[in-house]
Amino acid sequence: MSKPTFYISSPFDTYSGYGARARDIVKAIIKLDKYDVKLLPQKWGDTTWGFCAKHPEWKFLWDHAVQSIPQGIQPDVWMQITIPNEFQPVGKFNIGCTAGIESTGCQGEWVQGLNRMNMNFVSSKHSKNVFENLSFDQLDQNNKPTGEKIRNQKPIHVVFEGADLDIYKHLPTKDNKLDLNEIEESFCFLFVGMWMEGALGHDRKNVGLMIKNFLETFKNKKGAKPALILKASTGVDNHMSRDAILDKVNGIRQSVGGEDLPNVYLLQGDFTNSEMNELYNHPKIKAMVSHTKGEGYGRPLMEFCLSKKPIIASGWSGQLDFLNPAYAYLLPGKLEHIHDSAANKWLLKQFQWFSVDQTHATKAFKNVYTNYKKYIVPSKQQGHYIKTNFSWEKMKELVGKILDANIPEFPKQVDLKIPTLNPKTKVELPKLN
């Protein structure tokens, strides 16, 4: 019996957060073994191609790749993994999959995109809540309000981003091969993410202000100091990206002033998933820190939890789905409008995102550094919480349940068995008067 055709358009072969999300979702649907899965590879912004070629465990995805949908064929199921304004119904049943929203709102085109599909997947409760509570004025041909409102009309399902427990796990020091010998400090905070556009304190990941808080917390400290390691880029891992980040760091150091400042190190380049796990588990890495203004999910934070080390993170947006406040160090703060320097066609300045309280951020750095043992037990509990509830296997099960409950049964093709006439049989025709 033939399986329903399931076409998926996604950036599964790109080095991007959406690429990682696409690979997990696509793999889950393939492993369900209920559909004839065909993959349409798509670009994602300026991110580079070739992820699967450098990561052999993902090469099998290209076995399902096609250049296009055959003319005259309508897929039974169609899925797009991208931002919602790009969603277009192509199949008999259509699914949109997006990471979602890092702020309190989005442009109306995103809601209209969701409404073009039969149902939609998002990564977090934060994204679901924002999408479901937004409304926009319907405009006429003259760009004037009609009195009607645009609201989401389609089901939205939260499908978390699951961790591969075969890769992300506690790794004993003796099994760690990552070389960080050039880093002299034995206690390092780690940040992982892109350094995006925005003035100091206004870029989405809030990297600049995080660095400033770190430097001011430990400047002129007597004795050994911790270090801060940035696994960061500006979107493209090249020398220009590295130089741009180093220039920003040096500018922040100069603004803080003083000669006795702690060190900030930069790691760049393509790390495999296993190498990222080695980084998370390296004995010099003691904690992860993020002052992010908003996340659709916050994947590196989730992965780091499995190292069973402390996490300091903003207490708002997508990461709250998996960061249990009893186990993680969540920073308070307030919502503020997106700054002009960070606003673009996707991040609209009329909406808000999170700004951590700097006094509490400084206190968090000091507490974790000076009372590290205090945070070990809850960090182990956080790791167990992720392992139990947020694995890739659990995510696959969730995807299967949602698909089973919502995708209709499609008419099955029947092979007709037409009887053959015996050539020796004499056929008599009626005689006409």
SS3 category, 252: helix
In order along its 433 residues, the chain shows pLDDT tens digits of 689 999 999 999 998 889 999 999 999 999 999 999 999 999 887 788 899 998 999 999 999 999 999 999 999 999 999 999 999 999 999 999 999 899 999 999 999 999 999 999 999 999 999 999 999 988 778 878 888 889 999 999 999 999 999 999 999 999 999 999 999 999 999 999 999 999 999 999 999 999 999 999 999 888 899 999 999 987 655 556 888 999 999 999 999 988 899 999 999 888 889 999 999 999 999 999 999 999 999 999 999 999 999 999 999 999 999 999 999 999 999 999 999 999 998 899 999 999 999 999 999 999 999 999 999 999 999 999 999 999 999 999 999 999 999 999 987 655 556 555 555 545 454 555 4
Angle at 397 between CA 393 and CA 402, to 5 degrees: 145
CB 308 within 8 Å of CB 387: no
Kindly write down the DSSP assignment for every residue of 29-84, as one continuous string: HHHHTSSEEEEEE---TT--B-HHHH-GGGGGGGGGB-SSPPTT---SEEEEES-G
| Two structure tokens written together for 363 | 């206190």
Interatomic CA distance for residues 314 and 356, integer angstroms: 6
Residues 6+ apart with CB under 8 A from 411: none
Residues 6+ apart with CB under 8 A from 415: none
Query: Which domains does the chain possess?
Result: 5-159+393-406 (3.40.50), 173-389 (3.40.50.2000)
Interatomic CA distance for residues 187 and 180, integer angstroms: 12
Interatomic CA distance for residues 192 and 122, integer angstroms: 22
Q: β-strand 135-139 against 145-151: which pairing, if any?
A: antiparallel
